[in-house]
Amino acid sequence: MGLKQNLHKLKEKYKGTKMAPAFNALHTFLYTPNETAHGGTHIKAADDLKRTMNMVILALIPCLIFGMFNTGYQHYLAAGEIQAVSGGFFSSEFWTMQNFTLGFWKILPLIIISYGVGLGVEFIFATIKGHEVEEGYLVTGMLVPLIVPIDIPYWMLIIAVIFGVVLGKEVFGGTGMNVFNPALTIRAFLFFAYPTWMSGDKVWVHGAVERAKEIVAGSNADAISGETILGGLAQSHPIDYSVLDMFFGFIPGSVGETSTLLILLGGLFLIFTKIGSWRIMLSAVIGALVMGYIFNLVVAGGLITETSKFYGLMSTEFWHHLLIGGIAFGIVYMATDPVSAAQTNKGKWIYGFLIGFVSIMIRVFNPAYPEGVMLAILLMNVFAPTIDHMVIRGNVKKRLKRAKLKTA
């Protein structure tokens, strides 16, 4: 009989009671339901919510695996125990078991917390409301560990996940009704609530915070610098990473965001499976490039000198902006969230363009918020319905005009 049958029995037992949705969800989450449709009268669609979600998760897996290796790599590199990678993407110095083991054991708890707490909240709300548990959290739960600092204290993550799921999603009516991207709501909460853990030059490499504390306490160990490229540029520090390092992702940063190459592959996968909108991705990239180029022109025009605090980021070549920080990750996996993004095709172009544009603007003008992409996406989430409204109104007007012309 096994677990499936037992679960089914439990489900039948609790049918009609308050707990029914919880058992039902657990059952459908793990197995195919016992009551599937037979015969040929049904419309078949391969892309239900669960499949869609699974596709996104599949697209995230390479970033996750790479992030595990990179976590270990950055830690041992910063601690001075290994040499920097010299070869290409597949160089054996990077893909070592030592790197993977450290990253795996650091990231696994984050994933467990993210899913455990998030799904727990979903179950509780489904039980209270008496509706079925929705699959909406599956992607959010995978995104969260990829966008938080590796050493984030677990209790902070728990609070943030509860906050994000309840206020980012459940208050609006659950999956499909949320105004904001829940994963970004979680990150924004952490960012504003615990800024010392979310920004600065210590949080992105495992061990850097601990080491800094030891040094304050009088230890002789070398400090671990976990400075991200963005943080360095904001202070006009020279950057000693090559463009290829940035593209391959051998740089410090949150788990999922560093490898632009893998994000690009994930993005192509999402476009190919028609889950992510290519319009949003493309227009966001264009928006970021345009803004970056404007800043480059400002520097080239001599309007700003090296003494300016914006010089470091403004003078960064415009296409480098796409390689550093979380902008690529945000554009591919978060801006395309079908629920909180604009729905009309024209609206998607505007929505995406403004995300890229505003991201770089925030990044350059406010070094305290280097992750402009998070704030830009949340901001545009708010505007998405308005953009759609304007697009639809514009279309209505155009057609009315055409109708008038015909009748006149």
Partner 1 sequence: MAEVAEKEKIVEVQKEPLFSKKNRKLITDPLTDNNPITIQVLGICSALAITAQLKASIVMAISVMFVLALGNVVISLMRNIIPSKIRIIVQLIVVATLVIIVDQVLKAYAYSLSKELSVFIGLIITNCIIMGRFEAFALAEGPWRSFLDGIGNAAGYGVILVIVGFFRELLGSGTLLGFKVLGDPVEKTGLYAIGYENNGFMVLPPMALIVVGLIIWVQRSRNKELIEEH
One of 171, 177, 221, 297 touching partner 1 (CB under 8 A): 171
The single residue listed with the structure tokens 């949340």 is 378
Q: Does 105 engage in binding with partner 1 (CB under 8 A)?
A: no
Q: With respect to partner 1, which residue has the nearer C-beta, 90 or 155?
A: 155
In this structure, which amino acid lies at residue 310? F
Q: Does 61 engage in binding with partner 1 (CB under 8 A)?
A: no
Q: In terms of residues, how long is the chain?
A: 408
Query: Measured from the CB of residue 310, what is the shortest distance to partner 1 in angstroms?
Result: 25
Neighbours of 307 (CB within 10 A): 7
Q: Does 298 engage in binding with partner 1 (CB under 8 A)?
A: no
Report in angstroms the alpha-carbon separations of 61 from 139, 255, 262, 292, 367: 11, 12, 10, 30, 31
Q: What's the sign of the alpha-carbon dihedral 262, 263, 268, 274?
A: positive
Helix (H, G, I), strand (E, B) or coil at 193: helix
Near partner 1 by CB under 8 A, which window of 185-193, 224-232, 355-363, 398-406? 185-193
Query: Measured from the CB of residue 167, what is the shortest distance to partner 1 in angstroms?
Result: 7
One of 192, 244, 366, 397 touching partner 1 (CB under 8 A): 192
Query: Measured from the CB of residue 193, what is the shortest distance to partner 1 in angstroms?
Result: 4
Q: Does 193 engage in binding with partner 1 (CB under 8 A)?
A: yes
One of 39, 43, 46, 155 touching partner 1 (CB under 8 A): 155
Q: With respect to partner 1, which residue has the nearer C-beta, 159 or 215?
A: 159
User: Site mask, partner 1, residues 361-400, x = CB under 8 A?
Assistant: ----------------------------------------
Tokens of 260: 């632009």
Q: Does 195 engage in binding with partner 1 (CB under 8 A)?
A: yes
Query: Measured from the CB of residue 199, what is the shortest distance to partner 1 in angstroms?
Result: 11
Query: Measured from the CB of residue 67, what is the shortest distance to partner 1 in angstroms?
Result: 25
Which of 10, 5, 12 shows the shortest CA–CA distance to 32? 5
Near partner 1 by CB under 8 A, which window of 32-40, 193-201, 227-235, 313-321? 193-201
Number of residues that bind partner 1 (CB under 8 A): 13
Query: Measured from the CB of residue 33, what is the shortest distance to partner 1 in angstroms?
Result: 32
Query: Measured from the CB of residue 109, what is the shortest distance to partner 1 in angstroms?
Result: 15
Query: Measured from the CB of residue 198, what is the shortest distance to partner 1 in angstroms?
Result: 10
Q: Which residues bind to partner 1, rule: CB under 8 A?
A: 153, 155-156, 159, 167, 171, 189, 192-197
